[in-house]
Amino acid sequence: MKMKLSVLHAAVLAATLALPASSVQAGLPFLNSDKQEMPTLAPMLDKATPAVVHISVEGSREVRQRIPDALRHFFGQRGQGELRQERPFSGLGSGVIIDAAKGYIVTNNHVVQDADKIQIKLKDGRSFSAKKLGADPQSDIALLQIEAKNLIQIPLADSDKLRVGDYAIAVGNPFGLEQTVTSGIVSSLGRSGLNMDGFEDFIQTDAAINSGNSGGALLNLRGELIGINTAILGPSGGNVGIGFSIPSNMMKNLVDQILEFGEIRRGSLGVRGGDVNSELTEAMNLTVSRGAFVNEVLPDTAAAEAGLKAGDVIISMNENRIHSFNELRAKIGTLGAGRKAELGIIRDGKERKVSVTLGRAETARVEANELHPMLRGATLNNSDKGVEITELASGSIAEQVGLRQGDIITGVNRQRVTNLAELRRILEGRQGVAALYIRRGNDDLYILLR
């Protein structure tokens, strides 16, 4: 006796048993529970789910409340018109182990933002405190690290090879329900527009994603990581079949920058433009209906040096199709400064290739309390002389220990510091006093962190 399988079941079974999908779908003996297993994703998930972790956070955030003019003098706000208070918060989310040997875990920035305490719980029940190595709020990626043995990591897939219709499995901890698995397909690629100031190139999926899934894994049928689940679109805050994930390639580019430099070194092309649409196609007599139209090439930029011109249409980057200007912006911004890219363009109705070395966009900021609790309230940037304190909150811990805006950290405990990555490596795990060597104007001084 034979049974006919659906296309979905045939594909799943073929992936599980390493058989051609056509032969599986054509028919197979009726599966007897005593002799043969039913089609299942369980073997793949047995290997992948131990690499998906539960994250719980605690911290405090500044809450601002407007003060009526009649009451302002009672609060001593000196005309600021608002009352600022620190209020505690807690939250839950998910994360993915990407390097078992070094204990690296990727999650969303919004899961761990402002957290003073980050706790990681593994599938086997073990629990560890985590430290944040770095984050990129504009891409919503954060990198954590734990010290643990016998971890399991998820291998990365090439997300640039995804196609609409590929199967997708989401693993995370929605509403605190640990190790929840849902399945669906890749519904669309290159989605953007959720946060206009951010860098978005989302995978859209109908695999159920809910609150608490943030930072969890989106897998293919081989158990490889194709994305980090980050957002949903739903009128009630629950799943309606429209979820978004950060592609694994974008995540890896950002993680590599955090590990190498201690910050995100945003790539910059140096063009202004917009999406190709039907009106533009007709007006400019273009041969394509999708892409990024270049309105202006800014002088002294990577684009100008590479020979891009106003009127060019960018249709691909490193052999991957570009559908919109936002997609181009996200890929350029997250690839990183100094990286090379090959752009496919259309100029005067002809396709050609242009090689470009990306410039560096405005330097990303790092909140100093990510490096040491006594630096809370300071914002750090790399400079050509060391690590500069570019912002300092009035009354903050960092100000109280003696730091000032404009100070440049050039060393710690007689070790030279030239960038944030070096400062992080020296401070992480350090016990006792850390002596910061500071350059302030023409003076040099030490400031002690206890």
Cα–Cα distance, 45 to 49 (Å, whole number): 5
H or E segment and range at residue 15 = helix 7-17
H or E segment and range at residue 335 = helix 325-335
Contact 349, 287 (CB under 8 A): yes
**Which tokens go with 288?**
């394509």
Does residue 289 carry a catalytic annotation? Answer: no
Positions of E strands within 161-310? 167-172, 180-191, 202-205, 217-219, 225-232, 243-247, 267-268, 271-275, 292-297
Contact 53, 96 (CB under 8 A): yes
Single out the catalytic residue among 56, 214, 248, 268. Answer: 214
Cα–Cα distance, 361 to 58 (Å, whole number): 33
Does residue 183 carry a catalytic annotation? Answer: no
Single out the catalytic residue among 9, 99, 110, 275. Answer: 110
Cα–Cα distance, 239 to 184 (Å, whole number): 13
- Per DSSP, 156 falls in state B
Single out the catalytic residue among 56, 94, 140, 268. Answer: 140
Does residue 110 carry a catalytic annotation? Answer: yes
- Burial class, 432, CB count within 10 angstroms (exposed 0-12 / middle 13-18 / buried 19+): exposed
Contact 241, 270 (CB under 8 A): no
Nearest to 254 by CA among 265, 245, 243, 244: 265
Active site residues: 110, 140, 214
